[in-house]
Structure 1
Amino acid sequence: MKCFFAIWIPVLLFANAVFSQEMITHKVERGETITEIAKKYQVTPYDIYKLNPDAQDKLKPRMKLLIPSKSGLTVAAAQAQIAHKVLPKETLYGIEKKYAISDADLKKANPFLETDGLQIGQTLVIPSKNKATLQKAIYHDVQPKETKYSIAKKYGITIAELERKNPEIIPNLTIGYHLLIKGNPSKNESTLQKEAASVSVKKYNTYQVKPKETLYSLSKMFDLSQDELVKLNPELKNGVEIGMLLKVPANTSFPAIQENKVYADLSPKNVGGRKKIALLLPFNVSRVEGDTVNSMTERLKKDKFLNMTLDFYAGALMAIDSAKTLGLPIDVSIYDSEETKYNSNAAAIINTNKLQTADALIGPFYQNNAEATARLLSSYNVPVISPLSKDSGNPIANLYQTVPSNDVLKTAMFDYMRSKRGNVVAVVDRKKSSMNLYLAQNQPDVKLVALNENGNISAESLRNTLVTGRMNYVLMETASIWMVKTTIAAMLSVMPDYQVQLVVLEPNDALDSDEIKFSNLVKLKLMYPSVTRDNTSPERIAFENKFRKQNFISPSDYATRGFDVTFDTMMRLMQNKSFEDTVNTTATEQFENKFEYYKKDGMGYANKGVYILYYDTDLTEKTAN
């Protein structure tokens, strides 16, 4: 029952907010589509999905949909609008030129153009040139974390138009400010605006730029658009430099995850005394010895989890051997954690071997067991390093997640594309409703490429979302081989006119199909976020040769991770400061893994060390700069 209320209370609160706006109810007729309904009411399909999440699965006859009312124009203004039926060979540019209107105004009056593109037979609403005089005044109160860009995008206007109507915000946008969005205010309203502007006093602090910070990361940190930051600091027009002193809003809070740490090789310091590390690895020896059916050879063939454990162990042994070679004063103990998904014997190992005095523990493998171990040692402040779990986990002060979560990977990819001033568009399979929801909630500025009746895209629908003079990143989310082929074909066809690059957020089996030409993926420089990278440095080759000599096989990803996690942990303990202090100040890069920890909301640390990889023209994977 508690679960029921937990689910429905937010829904009811949302419904309250929705019904406070003007709404239209539409009863779905047999055969109607979301696109047709959106066109009828001059809204976007996303507007309808936002109010009717169930509609994403399937429209049913007699289903009632909530449609947001398209308000703002008076009756006179509506009558002043012109209807235009799209003829063959007409383009958006030609129509806009014919009626002397801007692209933004045409798309604002016809929201379906953003999703469906221009199609023969469409009836377009052509807004009257003098509609501004016919509009009621529309206002917006600035909310925390809003920017000029987000507000302008919300109302379909440019930042320049927003600033022209509200010149007081040119230096900076202030929370709570009453913005004029459209129309002309009455005399009394104008007076109130001026009084509000005179009360608003801007205060600033000075911020010193740190290594690896970019204009994009700084704008995110201070909740400003890049244009706003440059206006406050004109010297940024020449680029961001380490040590530069910037004028920034005084009331800004800096989230820990946005902080950029210095990547460095941690050379050992004189720590005065030996360090003690324990590895809790799930060998499950008692289970293996009790298996009377399978021989050890047969078990190794079948048991992937045991193989993973042994690979990690082999890599960790290489790291321990490297520490000995360097003469590091570290004592390492290795224990069998005897794990299932929800249980381990970690508590018994800790008590029997007095691991409350250890300087760090690596393991157990399963998230639940790592969390239980961290809780046992939290009062002793012993760092517990979770080596393989991707789960975000519960907030525990001494728990360190070494594998970046899927959300961190996605965020890193979008951060990279924005840092390059890219135009990001998305091709999303209708079956991937979770991706549509993710984009709506976390990346609302990403444009969706319109799909045709067969659920694929055309070159024309792709062109309608692209911009010239910038890289257009085309994010593709589908498991359909045919949709992959049509997306690639559309991208290749626009390459003479636009810069385009194909992007995926996670491994996609459809790309491995024999029907997908690898040469096309290379042409489109397929790009994706990754926890690991290929490393061909002399040190990495030496490691691989030594591992092969000792184990008669090449190191797997788990073996390399065993080395990277163990060696990174040992080197952090050799710094004359606590493990947590090194995590807060320094990021590291080992053979295949990065360790850039950040403090999660509440307690505990997670890793945001992610590589952005792409297929280069020499047919190899490269790390994007």
Structure 2
Amino acid sequence: MGMKKYMLQLVFTMVLLLAMEPVSAQNYTTHAVKDGETLKSISQKYRVTPYSILQANKEIKSASDVKENTILIIPLNGKAEDTKNEAKPDKPKQEELKPIRFTRHRVRRKETLFGLTQKYEITEEQLKRYNTRLYSETLDKGMVLQIPVFPEVDPNEEKELDFEIYTVQPKETRWSIAHKYGISVDSLLVLNPELDKNTNYLAAGEELKLPRPKGDSLKEQKTEVFTSYTVPPKMTLYSLGREYGIPTDSIVRLNPEIMKAGGLKEGMVVRLPKKKSQAGIVNTDNFVFYEVKPKQNIFRITQNLKITREELFRLNPALENGLKAGMVLKLPKEKAEGLEVKNALVLDKINLVDSINVENKPQLVFMLPFRLDKVNLNDTQRAEELIKNRRDLALSLGFYTGAMVALDSIKKLGVSVNVKTYDTQLDQAKVKEILFRESLTGVDAVIGPLAAGPLDEVAVQAKTKNIPVVAPIASDSKLSHSNVFFSVPRDAVLRDKMLAYMEKIHTDENVVIIADSTHQVAHDSILSKFPAAQIAKVIDNKSLHLDRFLIQLSNEKENWVFLETDQPNMVASVTSILNSANTSSVTATNNPQEKVNVRMFTTSFNGAFEHEAVSKTHLSNLKFTYPSFYKESADDTFTRAYMKKYNGLLPDRYAIRGFDVTMDVLLKLAYKKNLFETSKYIGLTEYAGNGFDYLNDWTSGYFNRACYIMEYDNLTIKEVEINDSKSNL
């Protein structure tokens, strides 16, 4: 019977469709496909055929194309059939309002039921429900009644929110969209549970479920400027909605002829709301955003954000209804000067040392190549030679000794840490063996390994347990690892920092570029900032065409010479030539005003500049300036602690890095035991010689942006102050 009934319904529906006159009205609605829904289940819900849905949605070729978040146009066939054999759908029951408590009332003379309902703001039915004798008795003086007290209901609150599907535009963020719709970021995540909680990533073109703003329906739009639009070839409703920033169902309601024609057709002239001026668009090009914290007030916010109350209210009219925790406020981008900003979000200054929660007990794992398979601890001389000659061993031991000082330091602050250490032996197979044998369950962070292969292996397995991995010396990976924190900045970050600094201080200096063929990217980047720069001729990637180069130097302006190479001999040769030019007069008159004034720079500092063949005196004379992810340690507290622990031994660069990386991880875990979460709200942190400011590059991982501009001065290396934001430490 069931199959016969289904076939009869199908035939009846088809007859109705075929018999329908061309002038008869056809109604449509839209449906956002939810997880688990199919073409058949949707057709049954709206009591239409799957075929009719496919006909109304030409871009849907088959049932398999109906996927979550797809917007379908549903043809409606008027009132549903009311047959005796078909059960009517149950009307949804209105949720019964329950009292939160009761109060007592003794009836006085001349009081009435109506008067009591007005006094206590309840209905007569509610009064009788909790005083059943009133169904059969009249109200008498002396009666004691039970008065229900119901929770307060906001009269402005909509009982049923109307939602729309919003398409993310380029350069929009979670905060800008939350501000636009007047909701908190937490509410945005609740409405869109598919969004990753560990990142702030939004892709242009991504669709979000959002509450439709009041007054957004066509009936409520009192004044709207429309424009005519001729549909070009291959244009779809989705593409058109994205281009004009309006939902597809709004386009259909404005242009019912779209459905009559079976969809959007080439050459069709449709009516659309006029595009808004680009100046009014709220995105990261124009604004930064701030999320209101609990217990904050307007005065504190205006002081912290350096903005007047009047301007704050003008930019954020919703403040007229009161300040609420979770609100997203927008600020002009120029107001971000001097503030800590990450992903267009203004961060609060958080002192990590003062924010320690001693209840947090971090679980830490170190995975470093100590090469115990190579070192014979009984042969001291041989062991010392290995440490001296093997960079991986020297780096691991130096890093780990610094990390141990960090563990001592965090312990003094009252934080207990559980540590496990493994020797990776610089071997991927060994790492697999360790991971097979030892469980990472409960681990809060893994520091290491050093090499790319072992690092990839650990990252993949740690990702399954949502564990962050901190790479001690890597700046990138060939594979994408969303859970890896690369603690060394990328070359591009260092280069951009250097060029931004030089562009800021440049006036009329004569710029000359010396770059070998392996540094073409640096060459092009410098030239893009300084288009008038002269290019020096390099012979066989080894030496300068000297005569031609000397002509390029100016004796009227200061000369800025960029040297981009990783060849020690070339660095030694060029620095010698520049130093000679810098200290010799151009003419025999020895007039100081005619001397050549040269400074040397690089955007890609590497080991060639530290080679023993390169004169430190020459570098100092040239005020050699370069970008670096580390600086000379000026932290006497760390140095003293290290020397005390290791019998007077001074910490090297690796030990300083071990302390800094480990201390950064431990302090963040002591603040909140989730490194992914803290990375959203903690900006720049600085320690003995290294800084950390991680930016989430979505699926590729977290990349450190903290770096310094260093300069040789009187045979010492000092940091150049460029007025960046201060550390959160």
Of 339, 352, 359, the residue aligned with 1:266 is: 352
Cα distance, 1:451–1:308 mapped onto 2, change above 3 Å:
closer
Task: Report the secondary structure of 1:380's partner residue.
Answer: coil
Task: Report the secondary structure of 1:592's partner residue.
Answer: coil
Task: Report the secondary structure of 2:518's partner residue.
Answer: helix
Cα distance, 1:344–1:568 mapped onto 2, change above 3 Å:
farther
Do 1:548 and 1:555's aligned partners in 2 also have CA atoms closer than 8 Å?
Answer: no
Do 1:256 and 1:599's aligned partners in 2 also have CA atoms closer than 8 Å?
Answer: no
Q: Give 1:377 deviation, angstroms.
A: 1.5
* 1:506 paired to 2:581: no
User: How many residues were matched structurally?
Assistant: 382
**Aligned residue for 1:539?**
637
- Quick one: distance in 2 between partners of 1:297 and 1:602? 42
* 1:462 paired to 2:553: yes
- Quick one: distance in 1 between partners of 2:346 and 2:477? 21
Of 246, 267, 271, the residue aligned with 2:332 is: 246
**Aligned residue for 1:621?**
717
Do 1:283 and 1:337's aligned partners in 2 also have CA atoms closer than 8 Å?
Answer: yes
* 1:593 paired to 2:673: no
Q: Give 1:605 deviation, angstroms.
A: 0.8
- Quick one: distance in 1 between partners of 2:597 and 2:350? 35
- Deviation per CA, 1:146-181: give whole Å up to 9, x if none: xxxxxxxxxxxxxxxxxxxxxxxxxxxxxxxxxxxx
- Deviation per CA, 1:241-274: give whole Å up to 9, x if none: xx995378xxxxxx97888977865214226342
Do 1:588 and 1:594's aligned partners in 2 also have CA atoms closer than 8 Å?
Answer: yes
- Quick one: distance in 2 between partners of 1:557 and 1:200? 55
Q: Give 1:566 deviation, angstroms.
A: 1.2
Of 397, 400, 410, the residue aligned with 1:313 is: 400
**Aligned residue for 2:669?**
573
- Quick one: distance in 2 between partners of 1:460 and 1:296? 54
- Quick one: distance in 1 between partners of 2:380 and 2:636? 45
**Aligned residue for 1:582?**
678
Q: Give 1:399 deviation, angstroms.
A: 0.7
- Quick one: distance in 2 between partners of 1:578 and 1:568? 13
**Aligned residue for 1:354?**
439
Do 1:404 and 1:607's aligned partners in 2 also have CA atoms closer than 8 Å?
Answer: yes
Do 2:579 and 2:621's aligned partners in 1 also have CA atoms closer than 8 Å?
Answer: no
Cα distance, 1:199–1:414 mapped onto 2, change above 3 Å:
same
Q: Give 1:311 deviation, angstroms.
A: 1.8
The aligned amino acid for 2:524 is A
* 1:487 paired to 2:572: no
- Quick one: distance in 2 between partners of 1:411 and 1:286? 42
- Quick one: distance in 2 between partners of 1:266 and 1:257? 21
- Aligned pairs for 1:68-107 (under 5 A) are none
**Aligned residue for 2:430?**
345
Of 193, 196, 203, the residue aligned with 2:279 is: 203
- Quick one: distance in 1 between partners of 2:275 and 2:578? 53
Q: Give 1:396 deviation, angstroms.
A: 0.8
Do 1:312 and 1:558's aligned partners in 2 also have CA atoms closer than 8 Å?
Answer: yes
Of 469, 479, 486, the residue aligned with 1:384 is: 469
- Quick one: distance in 1 between partners of 2:545 and 2:406? 51
- Deviation per CA, 1:277-322: give whole Å up to 9, x if none: 1111222324446999995455445434223222222111111122
Task: Report the secondary structure of 2:419's partner residue.
Answer: strand
Cα distance, 1:516–1:269 mapped onto 2, change above 3 Å:
closer
- Deviation per CA, 1:550-578: give whole Å up to 9, x if none: xx522121112111111111111011362
Q: Give 1:515 deviation, angstroms.
A: 8.3
- Quick one: distance in 2 between partners of 1:514 and 1:363? 33
Q: Give 1:378 deviation, angstroms.
A: 0.8
Q: Alignment identity in percent?
A: 26
Q: For the pair shown, which has the larger CA radius of gyration, 1 or 2?
A: 2
Q: Give 1:363 deviation, angstroms.
A: 1.1
**Aligned residue for 1:50?**
none
Cα distance, 1:512–1:383 mapped onto 2, change above 3 Å:
closer
- Quick one: distance in 2 between partners of 1:559 and 1:477? 29
- Quick one: distance in 1 between partners of 2:401 and 2:576? 42
Do 2:512 and 2:559's aligned partners in 1 also have CA atoms closer than 8 Å?
Answer: no
**Aligned residue for 1:396?**
481
- Quick one: distance in 2 between partners of 1:434 and 1:274? 47
Cα distance, 1:424–1:547 mapped onto 2, change above 3 Å:
farther
Cα distance, 1:624–1:264 mapped onto 2, change above 3 Å:
farther
The aligned amino acid for 1:576 is K
- Quick one: distance in 1 between partners of 2:357 and 2:673? 11
- Quick one: distance in 2 between partners of 1:614 and 1:312? 25
Do 1:527 and 1:614's aligned partners in 2 also have CA atoms closer than 8 Å?
Answer: yes
The answer to which structure, 1 or 2, has the higher relative contact order (CA under 8 A, 6+ apart) is: 1
Cα distance, 1:460–1:283 mapped onto 2, change above 3 Å:
closer
Task: Report the secondary structure of 2:464's partner residue.
Answer: helix
Of 477, 486, 497, the residue aligned with 2:564 is: 477
Of 394, 399, 413, the residue aligned with 2:498 is: 413
Cα distance, 1:293–1:573 mapped onto 2, change above 3 Å:
closer
* 1:283 paired to 2:363: no
Do 2:448 and 2:470's aligned partners in 1 also have CA atoms closer than 8 Å?
Answer: yes
The aligned amino acid for 2:454 is N
Q: Please, which runs of 5 or more residues in structure 1 have no aligned partner? A: 1-143, 146-197, 211-242, 249-254
Do 1:385 and 1:399's aligned partners in 2 also have CA atoms closer than 8 Å?
Answer: yes
Task: Report the secondary structure of 1:394's partner residue.
Answer: coil
The aligned amino acid for 1:376 is Q
Task: Report the secondary structure of 1:358's partner residue.
Answer: coil
- Quick one: distance in 2 between partners of 1:209 and 1:473? 39
The aligned amino acid for 1:612 is I
Cα distance, 1:425–1:584 mapped onto 2, change above 3 Å:
farther
Q: Give 1:433 deviation, angstroms.
A: 1.8
- Quick one: distance in 1 between partners of 2:346 and 2:499? 16
- Quick one: distance in 2 between partners of 1:517 and 1:273? 47
Cα distance, 1:541–1:282 mapped onto 2, change above 3 Å:
closer
* 1:522 paired to 2:608: no
Task: Report the secondary structure of 2:700's partner residue.
Answer: coil
The aligned amino acid for 1:543 is A
Question: If each structure's helix is expressed as a fraction of its own residues, which one has the higher value?
Answer: 1
Of 522, 547, 558, the residue aligned with 2:654 is: 558
Do 1:450 and 1:462's aligned partners in 2 also have CA atoms closer than 8 Å?
Answer: no
The aligned amino acid for 1:578 is N
- Quick one: distance in 2 between partners of 1:573 and 1:346? 25
Q: Please, which runs of 5 or more residues in structure 2 have no aligned partner? A: 1-169, 172-273, 291-328, 335-340, 587-591, 722-729
- Quick one: distance in 1 between partners of 2:426 and 2:534? 47
